[in-house]
């Protein structure tokens, strides 16, 4: 695809104290989540209502700029058996169109079960249908981003000893 679509390993080399932005790309909305500066905790941020790609990209990149984001983690909606269906093709097309507009590194993260897990959590919390609809996308983005952050933390090189 492009040089800024990378494997998660490339994120280990990102500057310290730089946030990551997680995305849950839906057909009608884009859920966004933001990491803390230490890249340990993902927090639901906002939901962008999709209009058309150019406007969606401007809104997304404006958020990335506002929070000085160092990289994007985009949920890849694989089928349960790991195959790629129409939603994966749509996500890859979105990223293909986004790449020329940003130099930010972009990583795909397997998002299977993210919306289901978040919906179950909201049901357990007895959230109303309207409340679930309002927050599920950004919470799914946080779930996706947290998975990548957890994996990234296990990949981090150990701190050098001062001995």
Q: Do the beta carbons of residue 39 and residue 156 sit within 8 Å?
A: no
Residue the block writes with tokens 């905790």: 41
Among residues of the chain, what percentage have pLDDT more than 90? 59
Instruction: Give the predicted TM-score (pTM) of the model.
Output: 0.85
| Sequential DSSP letters for 127-152 | --HHHHHHHHHHHHHHHHHHHHHHHH
Per-residue pLDDT tens over the stretch 113-128: 666 666 677 666 666 6
Candidates 3.30.420.140, 3.30.930.10, 3.50.50.60, 1.10.10.10; CATH matching 8-155: 3.30.420.140
Average pLDDT in the chain: 86
- Residues with Cβ within 8 Å of 65's Cβ and at least 6 positions away in sequence, in order, are none
- Residues with Cβ within 8 Å of 10's Cβ and at least 6 positions away in sequence, in order, are 105, 107
What are the extents of the domains in the chain? Answer: 8-155
pLDDT top residue among 84 and 2: 84
């Amino acid at each position: 695809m492009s040089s800024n679509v990378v494997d998660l390993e490339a994120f280990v080399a990102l500057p310290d104290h730089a946030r990551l932005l997680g995305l849950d790309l839906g057909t009608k909305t884009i859920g966004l989540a933001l990491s803390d500066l230490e890249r340990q905790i993902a927090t639901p941020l906002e939901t962008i209502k999709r209009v058309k790609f150019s406007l969606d990209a401007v809104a997304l990149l404006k958020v990335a700029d506002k929070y000085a984001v160092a990289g994007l983690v985009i949920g890849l909606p694989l089928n349960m058996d790991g195959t790629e269906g129409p939603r994966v093709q749509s996500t890859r097309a979105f990223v293909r169109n986004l790449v020329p507009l940003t130099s930010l590194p972009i990583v795909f993260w397997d998002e299977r079960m993210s919306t289901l897990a978040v919906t179950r959590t909201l049901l357990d919390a007895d959230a109303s249908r309207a409340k679930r609809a309002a927050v599920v996308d950004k919470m799914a983005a946080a779930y996706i981003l947290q998975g990548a952050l957890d994996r990234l933390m296990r990949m981090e090189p150990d701190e050098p000893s001062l001995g």
